[in-house]
Structure 1
Amino acid sequence: MFKHAQLETVKAWMADPAHGSMPLHARVQRAIRQLILDGVLEAGRPLPATRALAASLGVSRDTAESAYGQLHAEGFIERRVGSGSFVSERTQRLPVRSHSRRARSSAPHLRLSQRGMAMFQGGGVRDFFKPRAFAPGVPETRNFPLQTWERLERQVLKEYGTQALLHSPPQGMEPLRRAIADYVNLERGACASPERVLVLTSSQQALTLCASVLFDAGERIFIEDPVYHGARKAFDAAGLECMPVPLDADGLQVEQLLAATQAMASANGPAGQVPRAVFLTPSHQFPSGATLSLDRRLAVIEWARQQQGWIIEDDYDSEFHYAGKPTACVQGLDAHGRTIYIGTFTKSVFPGLRIGYMVLPEALVAPMTVARTLLDGHSAPIPQLTLARFIDAGHFGAHVRTMRAVYAERRDVLARLLRAHLAEFVEPQVPAGGMQMPCVLIRDIAETAAVQAAQRAGIDLLGLTGLYASSRHQAGFLMGFAAHAPHELEAGVMQLAKVLRGLCR
């Protein structure tokens, strides 16, 4: 028979709302099975008769009989005519599930591969799931033309029917690849064709593909310093050695890249291994906001030609430029086919869309597409086809123009608020584009303490120090402004001022 505590455990399991979708007999069966798995009901233990169990649990005898029947079919109990039901002797071989401290301490040692450990220790890339105050990289979604999107999605389903429910080609749906090629050619000055576009789920996936397909562990890659953390973590996880190149007001200091290349080429042994690629965010550098000058773009292209290396160009939020027209992308200037262009729609449309892309040199299309099949196979067809219509009908361009004006106003509002209420703590570096503002700490406050205290107060900041690969760094943080209306920015600044003053006491 069940002890009182065991019977109450079964009743609690049955009453748990999380199990409410199960039939009643399944809840009884699962509860008893869990007691067996936890070692509470040991092998050979007699079980109550179905009539007695039904009465104790307040269920019908048929329910208890169905529960026992399933337990018997699964081998957890034995039913002997004239003797009753017993926990099966076979359950002695089951590992006991225990939540005790002793069980946790005897758990098997976790052994990961070097790449797995690098990914785990790197902490991954944290998305800001809710637009809390100043979360960087989060767009405004309340202004999105949702009715237009719904209408286009209905058109897709009407035209494609059940075909839209099948797998997409791993390279992406042709209408979207064509729309992307047309868009980047017109708006970004790229040189793209639908055949060279690879549709992905994100720019992070593109970076991971570049790191794993183009390089072996131990190879080197030039990166900006500071650099987008998602890129550096992708390269670190692939076992690459990141070689930082400093920035100034005109972006990456290409003369430093050329000098480092020459020095390594002259050295012997591992020190002589010249990186075969450089990672850039040239249109709007992350996090500084600098734009790479034309002469430096041309110099990087010539470096790639001479070294037979790659330029990995991340054009992550180039649509949002607030002073004049955006600078044309590096890929469109590269006549040698050495540039891999990465873009995403998570910032310009909405984060939940999960569509990014690469414009690839022709020779890389097949290798990258095949490698992509080993990750997630393909992107969902319905959002791809809907986005293609959204772009082709001009809705995407109209939305970007609207949000560009909205974001420019919010950038200016945030700059004014910081100068009015936080001038004693930070110096804002107002960017010419993008969705976040770098702020350098000018008060003797620890960056980590400021970020953690702000987080406890409901404010998300991204520290600047962790974005540097070298010892040259400025303490501070990035403040996102795109997702917040002016009154929300004001409330957030006032709360942050309170947090920083609390740290100075």
Structure 2
Amino acid sequence: MFKHSQLESVKAWIAQPAQAGMPLHARIQRAIRQLILDGALGPGKPLPASRVLAKSLGVSRDTIEAAYGQLHAEGFIDRRVGSGSFVAEVKEFAPGRRLSPRRAQSPNQAAALSRRGNAMFGSGGVSEQLLPRPFAHGVPETRTFPLALWERLGRQVLRETGRRALLHGDPQGIEELRRAIADYVNLERGARTTAERVLILTSSQQALTLCANMLLDPGDRIFIEDPAYYGARKAFDAAGLECVPIRVDRHGIAVNQIKAETRKVKAVFLTPSHQFPAGATLTLDRRLALIEWASRHQSWILEDDYDSEFHYAGKPTACLQGLDPHDRTIYIGTFTKSLFPGLRIGYAVLPPELVKPMTVARTLLDGHSAPMAQMTLARFMEGGHFGAHVRTMRSIYADRLDLLAMLVIKHLPHFLEARVPDGGLQMPCALTGAISEAAAVDAARRVGIEIMGLSALHAGGKPEPGFLMGFAAYTPSEIEGAVRKLAGAFRAAATS
């Protein structure tokens, strides 16, 4: 028979809000199990008869029988015909060897992580806004995406492929999509590849993590742009690499600084088509010099071509990978910016000798990308819809960039200098001194506006204060309203 305190403990357990979604018999079973684990019910102790406990708890006898049945199945109690139910004689529950009561864990308590785990956790991760608001950067417009067309293509895939779309996919990615991507980057980006050299991934961030862990060892050096994309730096830091910052000017990364380095550096990461965050395009002479440096030192070039589809002043420059005759360049692309973030499909164009190792490594991360989304995207590209969508959005984004630049000049001349880029989804702005970068970011946030400060993206020197203003995902009226709010917030911050 339960003591009064034990009966009250069971009642309290089954009444907890956290247990509300659990069947009643399961709640009672777990309450009794916890009494056994905590040592409150010792080995050999009898449990109340099911009819008696049912009456005490105000439940049906069947409910108690179901709870006792589960406890018996899990080995916590013995059921003896004609005698009743008893706590099992398990040595772990014997006197002197009782399990210690569970201690409440504080969410702020430090976990015992590995060095790499601490590096990953300490980086803060790469967070994205679920519902972006002006002027969150790097977010495409999704409200005009041809969703009905996408749904129709998805239905075609299901009709024609049937269960194939429901099964595991090729870890390298389905051939149709790899072929479509190879055709696209060869034609539009000047790459040199085939479907056999394309690896489908969930994101460019996954590609960077793979490269950091497959091509370099902890302690190895990698050149990165200064300022640099924060997601890349965090991936490299988490892998234990030593990031060597190289300044960026209006012609891109300073390759002469790379060539002057006397220490062994095994890779360089850069965004040559549209440098993040400055917006510069790497000049041809620097591209060729970088390719020669990589070949001479047998180092890798990690080329992140994250938003080259959206170039507003002339034709975009051909990618580095297509210029590299030595196959030292890994080209990384994503559909997050060109289509929609929820698609979760990126890719890497690899040197032939890296395809199998990278594919095997990818299986250890998440196995494969969802076949259904890959098949639908392949048809979207093969049917010419991808190119048409990009052309449409390029025109829309160009208009929004022009509007944002005009509004900044009109409403924020005492605070900002707009640095209008040739492409991309965000515009860098330099602060002219009326308020600090930290004060600007804080003032914007207080009125519901997101801007990213530039100082944190720099590794050395004295960075020019400023921030990024994303424009692609916001309508003209949303952009104008947000600029006006920002102007008011900055004026209030400057006079406070």
Q: In the TM superposition, what is the alpha-carbon distance from 1:225 to its structure 2 partner?
A: 0.8
Deviation readout 1:18-74 (Å, 9 max, x if unpaired): 743x4432233234445655x495547775543343334442111122112212332
Report the counterpart of residue 185 of structure 1 in structure 2. Answer: 186
- Do the aligned residues in 2 keep the contact of 1:11 with 1:57 (CA within 8 Å)? no
Distance 1:161 1:365 in 2: 29
Q: In the TM superposition, what is the alpha-carbon distance from 1:172 to its structure 2 partner?
A: 1.0
- Do the aligned residues in 1 keep the contact of 2:414 with 2:434 (CA within 8 Å)? no
Deviation readout 1:340-398 (Å, 9 max, x if unpaired): 11000111111111111111111222222222222212111111111111000011111
- 2:176 matches 1:171: no
- Do the aligned residues in 2 keep the contact of 1:133 with 1:492 (CA within 8 Å)? yes
SS class of match (1:319): coil
- Do the aligned residues in 2 keep the contact of 1:181 with 1:193 (CA within 8 Å)? yes
Matched residue pairs, number?
486
Change (3 A) 1:423 1:166: same
- State the superposition RMSD in angstroms: 2.6
The one-letter code sitting in structure 2 at the alignment partner of 1:314 is D
SS class of match (1:325): coil
Report the counterpart of residue 73 of structure 1 in structure 2. Answer: 73
Report the counterpart of residue 119 of structure 1 in structure 2. Answer: 120
The equivalent position to 1:462 in structure 2, one of 440, 452, 467, is 452
Q: TM-score, normalised by structure 2?
A: 0.90
SS class of match (1:216): coil
- Do the aligned residues in 2 keep the contact of 1:10 with 1:32 (CA within 8 Å)? no
* 1:416-427 alignment, distance < 5 Å: 416-427=406-417
Distance 2:489 2:353 in 1: 53
- Do the aligned residues in 1 keep the contact of 2:19 with 2:27 (CA within 8 Å)? no
- Do the aligned residues in 1 keep the contact of 2:10 with 2:32 (CA within 8 Å)? no
Report the counterpart of residue 267 of structure 1 in structure 2. Answer: none
- 2:300 matches 1:300: no
Distance 1:115 1:100 in 2: 23
The equivalent position to 1:318 in structure 2, one of 292, 308, 320, is 308
* 1:34-433 alignment, distance < 5 Å: 34=34, 39=38, 41-43=40-42, 48-77=48-77, 91=93, 93-99=98-104, 110-258=111-259, 260-261=260-261, 264=262, 273-433=263-423
The one-letter code sitting in structure 1 at the alignment partner of 2:230 is H
SS class of match (1:139): coil
SS class of match (1:374): helix
Q: TM-score, normalised by structure 1?
A: 0.88
Structure 2 unpaired stretches of 5+:
none
Q: In the TM superposition, what is the alpha-carbon distance from 1:339 to its structure 2 partner?
A: 1.3
The one-letter code sitting in structure 1 at the alignment partner of 2:153 is L
Q: In the TM superposition, what is the alpha-carbon distance from 1:113 to its structure 2 partner?
A: 2.8
Distance 2:76 2:349 in 1: 56
SS class of match (2:70): helix
SS class of match (2:183): helix
- Do the aligned residues in 2 keep the contact of 1:278 with 1:311 (CA within 8 Å)? yes
The one-letter code sitting in structure 2 at the alignment partner of 1:213 is M
Distance 2:46 2:412 in 1: 72
Deviation readout 1:445-473 (Å, 9 max, x if unpaired): 44345434544543332221111121231
SS class of match (2:51): helix
Change (3 A) 1:155 1:306: same
Distance 1:416 1:40 in 2: 72
Change (3 A) 1:439 1:77: farther
Deviation readout 1:108-144 (Å, 9 max, x if unpaired): x744332222222222212222212211111111111
Distance 2:105 2:207 in 1: 43
Q: In the TM superposition, what is the alpha-carbon distance from 1:500 to its structure 2 partner?
A: 3.3
Report the counterpart of residue 270 of structure 1 in structure 2. Answer: none
Q: In the TM superposition, what is the alpha-carbon distance from 1:287 to its structure 2 partner?
A: 0.3
The one-letter code sitting in structure 2 at the alignment partner of 1:96 is P
Distance 2:85 2:422 in 1: 76
The one-letter code sitting in structure 2 at the alignment partner of 1:72 is H
The one-letter code sitting in structure 1 at the alignment partner of 2:65 is E
Deviation readout 1:374-425 (Å, 9 max, x if unpaired): 2212111111111111000011111111111121122222222322333333
SS class of match (1:239): coil
